[in-house]
Amino acid sequence: MTIRDMLGRSGVVSREDALTSVYEHFVLPDLERETVHISHALGRVAVEDVRSPVDLPDFNRSTVDGYAVSSGDTFGASEAHAAYLPIVADIPMGSLPERDLAKGETMAIATGGALPGGADAVVMFEHTQPVDENHIEVVKPAAPLENVIQIGDDVREGEVLISSGRVLRPQDMAMLAGVGITTVTVFEQPRVAIISTGNEIIPADRRPTKGQVRDVNSYNLEGLITQAGGVPVKKGIIPDEYARLRTIVEESARDCRLLLLTGGSSVGTADLTAKVIDDLGPPGVLVHGVSVKPGKPLIAGLVKAVQGGAPVPVFGLPGHPAAVTVCFDLFVRPLLNRLRGESPKPVLRGRASYSVVKAKLARSVSSTPGREDHVRVVLEEREEELWARPVFGASGLISTLVKADGTVVIPVNEIGIEAEEEVEVRLFR
C-alpha cells in the first residue's frame, strides 16, 4: 500500500510491502563455510545436519543415589513387610560393576552410576532401612526401569542432533560434546559495512563545535550487528559528497554482504543516497519511505555486485538513533539472518517472532492512522503486575533508547492504545 506523507512524497509504503519488495529482488549468494571448535560455535549457524555417532548414554545408569535391584525382588515391599536384601558390592563411579547382580541381591549405586547386569531398577536410599553394614530392608517396591536411564534414552545413534540452518545454543554445544563431537561446520559470519554520512558528523573522540554531533549510530549498529551474528565493518564518516559516497559504497560492495548507511535518508540529503544506490544498480532503490514511526525515511535497495555476484543489499537508515534501532529490527535483521545461513522462522500473525512479555500500559498513547508506531517503554513491577510506561521523546534522543526495555507497537490503522490495556512488549535483545 502506497501512502502520501505530510511532505508530499508518494513513495511511502507499509512495512510488509517494503519487505516484500526487497525479498522479491534479493538473491541469496553462495555462503562460505568453515569448521570451528564447539567452544566457538555459540550463535553460529550449522551448514548441515549433524547426526549422533553413538547412543547416549551407552550404558544403563541410575538417576538417584540408592541400591540397584531386580524389581521383582521388591514387589509387595512395605513398612510392615520389608524386602530383606544383602549388599554384595558398592558400584564405583566411572566404571562398570565387576559382576552381574544375582536374584535376591543388591548393590549400592550413586547417581549416574552404571547398572550391573541383572538389575532393572534402583531403589532410593529414602525407601530403605539399614539392618547392618551388609544388609538393607526395602520398604517401598520399585517398578521395572524406575530411576533408570536406559541406553539411548537421551540420543540414539544416527539421530539428528542439529538441523541445517539452526543457530547453535549453549545446550547444543553440550549435546555435541556429550556424543564426542568437538567440531562443527558453520556458515561464515557475513561482513556488514557501516557507512556514516553527513557533514555534521564527527568521530566520538572529538569535541564538537556548534552544529556538529558525535557519531553514535555506528556504535549502535556495531552492537546490533554483532548481536545478530554478523561482523561489523566500519567504513568511516563520509561527507555529503556524491563522488566520495559512491566510491565508499562501491568499495564496500566488494568485501561486504550487506551495506548500511546512516543519515542521508531524510529530506535534503536523501536524493544523494538514493542517487548513489540507483547509479550502482540494478535494481537500485526499491523502497524510499515506510509507514513506520520512527523510521519513515528508510531507503532500501540493491547494488550491483563486483565480478558478477548476487546484488548486494543496501539500506539507507534514518539518522535518529531510535529510528536506526527500529529499522534494524524490522528490515535489516531478517535479511542478515538469511545471509548468515539461518533457516527462515515461521511468521506469527503476519510478523516475525520476537521475545515478548505482556504488560499493562501505564498511560494512554496516541498514533496517526496510516502508520505503524513503535513506542519505547520501560517495564515496571507494581503490586506483582507488570506495567509498561511509555518513554516519550524525539527519536533523535539516544537516552530514550537507553531507558527503554522494549517497544509497544500500535498497528497501522489504530489511533492509539488506552491506559491499563494489556499490550505486548517486544523486548530489546
Domain boundary among 279, 314, 339: 339
Confidence of residue 3 (pLDDT cuts 50, 70, 90): very low
Query: In this predicted structure, what is the pLDDT of residue 265?
Result: 55
Among 41-45, 173-177, 261-265, 369-373, where is mean pLDDT lowest? 261-265
User: Nearest CA to 258 among 348, 339, 330, 183?
Assistant: 339
Q: Comparing 385 with 429, which gets the higher pLDDT? A: 385
What domain range includes position 119?
Answer: 61-149
Whether 39 and 83 share a structural domain: no
* Pair type for strands 365-366 and 372-382: unpaired
Q: For residue 333, what pLDDT is reported?
A: 96
CA distances from 308 to 254, 281, 283, 311, 312 (A): 11, 12, 14, 8, 11
State the average pLDDT for the chain: 92
In a shared domain, residues 40 and 102:
no
pLDDT tens-digit map of 249-283: 999 999 999 999 998 655 556 679 999 999 998 99
Q: What is the pTM of this model?
A: 0.88
Whether residue 346 lies inside any domain: the answer is no
- Give percent of the chain with pLDDT exceeding 90: 88
The pLDDT of residue 335 is above 60: yes
In this structure, the answer to whether residues 333 and 215 fall within a common structural domain is: yes
> Do 50 and 182 belong together in one domain?
yes
pLDDT reported for residue 345: 64
User: Which three-class secondary structure state does DSSP give residue 174?
Assistant: helix
69-94 pLDDT tens trace: 999 999 999 999 999 999 999 999 99
Do the beta carbons of residue 286 and residue 273 sit within 8 Å? no
Q: Which of 124, 149, 174 is the last residue of a domain?
A: 149
- Residues 122-137 pLDDT 10s: 999 999 999 999 999 9
How many domains in the chain?
4
DSSP lists the bridge partners of residue 33 as 187
User: 386, 399, 384: which is closest to 427 by C-alpha?
Assistant: 386
Q: What is the CATH number of the domain that holds 119?
A: 2.170.190.11
pLDDT digits (tens, 9 = 90+) for 136-164: 999 999 999 999 999 999 999 999 999 99
Q: Residue 395: its pLDDT value, please?
A: 83
Q: Is residue 163 part of a domain?
A: yes
Distances (CA, A) of 123 to 115, 128, 138, 152, 308: 12, 8, 8, 22, 69
